[in-house]
Structure 1
Amino acid sequence: MAAEGGFDETIHAPTRLRLCGILRHVDSAEFAMLRDALDLSEANLSKTLRALADLGYVRVTKAASSSRTDKRRTTTVSLTPAGRRAFDGHLRALQRLAEGIVD
């Protein structure tokens, strides 16, 4: 985890960066959509989400689905305010690096 607004090693991992990039532009996304968009197994996506949830960067919620006839629940994922700040700060740090500014 980085200091507020800095390079964040946790987010920088390719799958986590892509995941945060998707979530940054939506209120929430369904687990299945994220799995397909990132081309990950359910186990790999779950592990990635757990790591980000442990830092307080994402929130994972499960709820009954009105579109299903069985008892399975829909899992949705969203960036928390802390996750949004960390992602935005990481992007700013990458921009500074691209401009040749090293903190």
Structure 2
Amino acid sequence: MNEHPTNGLDDVVHQRVRLGILAVTKEARQVEFTFLRGTLGLTAGNLSQHLGVLEKAGLVTIDKGYEGKRARTWIQLTKAGKKALNEEIAALKALIQQLEGTGGGVDPGPAAAPAPG
């Protein structure tokens, strides 16, 4: 029996805000906290919580410092973060292919019934 592509989705990465953080950070290589907050339309507290989850999982590094007199927080993807994002994208592509009928599909088994409607 084929495994369904949704089984390849990572709960840490797949959450909308965390996926957004990883995607924006990959595009920019290194991103400043306030830029991420504005780009993703988040509050500082919400962004901090999601960054904490990603940092604990080893997917991002967070560096605090100063630019002039202003405190800054910089976020970068780790190797594991890049790998996790690439794997998530591959799982999403596989799911899309299956839903569009271009993939191998999953045998619904004998108990499957047509959807009503």
Instruction: Tell me the TM-score range normalised by the shorter chain.
Output: 0.7 to 0.9
Residues 1:13 and 2:12 aligned together: no
User: Cα distance, 1:76 vs. partner?
Assistant: 0.4
Number of matched pairs: 94
- Match of 2:42, SS state, is coil
Q: Which residue of 2 aligns with 1:31?
A: 33
Tell me the TM-score normalised to structure 1 length.
Answer: 0.84
Larger Rg, first or second structure (1 or 2): 2
Return 5+ residue gaps in structure 1 as ranges: 1-5
TM-score, normalisation: structure 2: 0.75
Give the superposed CA RMSD: 1.6
SS in 1 for 2:29: coil
- Secondary structure at the residue paired with 1:25? helix
Q: Quote the Cα distance in structure 1 between the aligned partners of 2:28 and 2:80.
A: 15
How many Å separate the matches in 1 of 2:66 and 2:23? 27
1:99 partner letter: Q
Spell out structure 1 runs of 4+ moving beyond 3 A. none
Q: Could you tell me how far 1:26 is from its partner in structure 2? A: 1.8
- Identity among equivalent positions (%) equals 31
